Amino acid sequence: MKVLGIDPGTHNVGYGVLEKNNGAIRSLEYGVVRSIAKMDLSFRLGEIYRKLDTIIGQIKPDIISIEKVFFGVNVKSAISLGEGRGIVLLLADLHDIEIHEFSPTQIKKAVKGNGRAQKYQIQKMMQSLLKLKDMPRSEDAADALASAYCFLNSSKFQQLIKQT
Amino acid sequence: MKVLGIDPGTHNVGYGVLEKNNGAIRSLEYGVVRSIAKMDLSFRLGEIYRKLDTIIGQIKPDIISIEKVFFGVNVKSAISLGEGRGIVLLLADLHDIEIHEFSPTQIKKAVKGNGRAQKYQIQKMMQSLLKLKDMPRSEDAADALASAYCFLNSSKFQQLIKQT
């Protein structure tokens, strides 16, 4: 089962693909989709949509996993976050892929055992958990891998495996 | 010049099309795009995307006008608002249509001369300003018409007319 984790945004969008076979989780690919900062929001969202659409078409994930935030951000950031999320949620529907959402606390606990882990710790933990040669340089990519990792260690994954 | 006003959302999306000829503004069409409430967010955004995509393709507006909110909502509502906005901003890019944003105060002032106008007043004012036979029954459609009306009375419209 291939899980695509996405860390949504209106400038940079992290993504990471994990696969679980016989209990072992391995990373297939991760990176960041970037839009041109000086362009306006509508164009940036269009760019992100086109790039993510291509990536999803190539990877063909079974599941998309993203973070669900409800507090700790101001209204302006929350609207931006929503705009980025909207594109990801739309693409999940257009590609007919099941989408699962986890709170920041659930994700941090899954990868670190600490709900208050810092960004840098997530990068270190993902390198360690996935036995990556190098630490993911991008926080966004590390966060995306963490979302995917959280799904693969969740009861939702267990339920899905039982069903199939 | 045809202006499509949109009132974004993740359940109901209001839209309204206005045209300005020789200083006179008239309404060409308005209504509400609805998604199935019991379906999940990803599917609802997909539905809204497909329906708005068809409407934009039929109307072929020169401009899209939407409200830009920065306060007065909680984080959860702001994220939802952003999700709905993301779909509209994306469609503007995919259809290569210029998009303009106005604050709630700018819009209310343009249609009512009062920055604190209530929803019902917007519906009444749009009926009066556009000489509609009936009052728009949907608040979302009235808000969308108000966004479009705001653009047609803005300095942005004057600049665009001078350029063309």
> Please, what is the average pLDDT of chain B?
92
Catalytic residue at A7? yes
**pLDDT of amino acid A115:** 60
**pLDDT of amino acid B15:** 98
A70–B76 C-beta distance less than 8 A: yes
Q: Give the integer Cα–Cα distance in Å for A142 and A148.
A: 10
Query: Which among A73, A99, A102 has a CA at the least distance from the CA of A86?
Result: A99
Q: Quick one: how far is CA A32 from the chain centroid?
A: 10
Q: Give the integer Cα–Cα distance in Å for B57 and A27.
A: 41
Backbone angles phi, psi at B162, to 5 degrees: -65, -40
CA distance B131 to chain A (A): 33
CA distance A22 to chain B (A): 30
Mean pLDDT of the region A80-100: 97
Q: Give the integer Cα–Cα distance in Å for B79 and B74.
A: 9
**pLDDT of amino acid B93:** 98
Query: Which among A143, A148, A151 has a CA at the least distance from the CA of A14?
Result: A143
CA distance B134 to chain A (A): 34
Catalytic residue at A40? no
Q: Quick one: how far is CA B10 from the chain centroid?
A: 14
Chain A contact for B103 (CB, 8 A cutoff): no
Q: Give the integer Cα–Cα distance in Å for A50 and A45.
A: 9
Does the structure's ipTM exceed the value 0.85?
yes
Which A positions 7-66 lie with beta carbon below 8 A of chain B? Answer: 40-43, 45-46, 49
Backbone angles phi, psi at A74, to 5 degrees: -85, 170
Q: Give the integer Cα–Cα distance in Å for B15 and B51.
A: 11
Catalytic residue at A140? yes
Where does the pLDDT of residue A125 fall: very low under 50, low under 70, confident under 90, or very high at 90 and above?
very high
A80–B42 C-beta distance less than 8 A: no
Q: Which two tokens stand for residue A81?
A: 């976050």
Size of interface A-B (CB pairs under 8 A): 99
Beta strands in B1-139 (DSSP E): 2-7, 12-21, 24-34, 63-67, 98-102
Longest dimension (CA), chain A: 48
Give contacts of A80 with chain B, Cβ < 8 Å.
82
Q: Pick one of 3.30.230.10, 3.40.1170.20, 3.30.420.10, 3.60.15.10 as the CATH number of B2-163.
A: 3.30.420.10
Q: What is the pLDDT of residues B112-125, one digit of tens each?
A: 766 666 778 899 99
Over 70: is that where the pLDDT of A117 sits?
no
**pLDDT of amino acid B155:** 82
Q: Are B114 and B75 in contact (CB under 8 A)?
A: no
Where does the pLDDT of residue B140 fall: very low under 50, low under 70, confident under 90, or very high at 90 and above?
very high
Q: What is the pLDDT of residues B2-57, one digit of tens each?
A: 999 999 999 999 999 999 988 899 999 999 999 988 899 999 999 999 999 999 99
Give contacts of A94 with chain B, Cβ < 8 Å.
46, 49
DSSP state string for A2-66? EEEEEE--SSEEEEEEEEEETTEEEEEEEEEEE--TTS-HHHHHHHHHHHHHHHHHHH--SEEEE
Q: Which two tokens stand for residue B110?
A: 């343009």
* Per-residue burial over A44-65, b = 16 or more CB atoms within 10 Å of its CB, e = otherwise: bbbbbbeebeebbeebebebbb
Chain A contact for B81 (CB, 8 A cutoff): yes
Higher pLDDT, A30 or A118: A30
